[in-house]
Amino acid sequence: MIPLSILDLSFIREGGTVRDALLESRAQAIHAEQLGYHRYWVAEHHAMPGIASAATSVVLGHLAAATTSIRIGAGGIMLPNHAPLIIAEQFGTLNALFPDRIDLGLGRAPGSDQRTLRALRRHGDTAEQFPGDVLELMDYFLPTGASNGVTAVPGAGSDIPVWLLGSSLFSAQLAAALGLPFAFASHFAPQMMEQAIDLYRSSFRPSERLKAPYVMLAVNVIAADTHGEAEFLATSRRLFIAALRHGRPGRLLPPVAPEDQPWSHEVSDQFDTLQGVSLIGTQEEIAEGMRGFLHKHAPNELMISAPIYEPAARLHAVSLAREAWKALHAAS
């Protein structure tokens, strides 16, 4: 059975607080570990009213301290926002506290607008330095210290898996050139997924970190006991994405009846395809969707995101997704 993992955006719900979101993430991480999920990742976003994981390394410590075996990681750290040495120290610290459980996924986008980028004291051209920054960061993890003469403490000698994340061809090509595992953000930007996967696999160069290509793909999973209930729950994500696309990011809203959405059924279908690969339905329907996705793209690992408003419904969806995954592999 290939691994099944979770991406959590630590959504701040309408009517909730940042504390609520972080405690809900903690509960979901514990639940995921009990169910046998492989990894639990959170992502860095800044100045987003609906996402609580801006201080990503702090959130990872919060989740790792609440669990015992599941891998905890960043999906990802937006490296243009940080000096590589700082990230080496932060993840070296996490690795010292929670050995053999920490993953470091790196993204090239700043994860924010230009005004927020200036507030972070970064420059617009930092993304162009991304390949060099990745190499410098990995250099700090060497037992002997980095080639620039600086030793990251903590950090040096840390055996931390480094991933490259992306939604375009750039990170796929760089991951292949550096011999690193690659995670594609098909849960929100699937347009270039097939091209990126093909480029990564065909261009991959084995490295000391990884001998063969390793692809992880992300999908939204909104599962419920009935198809109608799943369609109802899916409206929260559509409303969240619509606000984001119109430049009005907000909190995760309660679901509404599908017919009460401020757009047609055809537009809803576009949200579920153009705005990310989404599997919506019962456990059996989720299993069938997973089967088709695996057959078509053959990832080495699947990561799900469950953008559902009500915490109990979210945990139930995570349970149904895991059962669908086990049933799928038992059948095959």
pTM above 0.85, yes or no: yes
Please say whether the beta carbons of 150 and 85 come within 8 A.
yes
Nearest to 232 by CA among 313, 145, 128: 313
d(CA 34, CA 299): 24
Burial of 121 (0-12, 13-18, 19+ CB in 10 A): exposed
What is residue 252's predicted lDDT score, i.e. its pLDDT? 96
* The pLDDT value given to residue 174: 97
φ, ψ of residue 28 to 5 degrees: the values are -70, -35
Question: What pLDDT is attached to residue 275?
Answer: 67
CB atoms within 10 A of CB 19: 10
- Give the pLDDT of residue 121: 66
C-alpha span between 194 and 296 (Å, rounded): 10
**Cα–Cα nearest to 284, from 325, 312, 313, 314:** 325
Q: Class of the 1-160 domain?
A: alpha beta
Please report where in the chains the tokens 């375009």 appear, as a residue. Answer: 168
> Residues 146, 140: contact at Cβ < 8 Å?
yes
The token pair that represents 1 in the structure block: 């059975």
- So where are the chain's domains? 1-160, 221-332
- In the chain, which stretches have pLDDT less than 70? 110-113, 121-127, 263-275
**Tens digits of per-residue pLDDT, 131-174?**
999 999 999 999 998 999 999 999 999 999 999 999 989 999 99
DSSP 251: P
Taking alpha carbons only, the member of 247, 216, 230 closest to residue 307 is 230
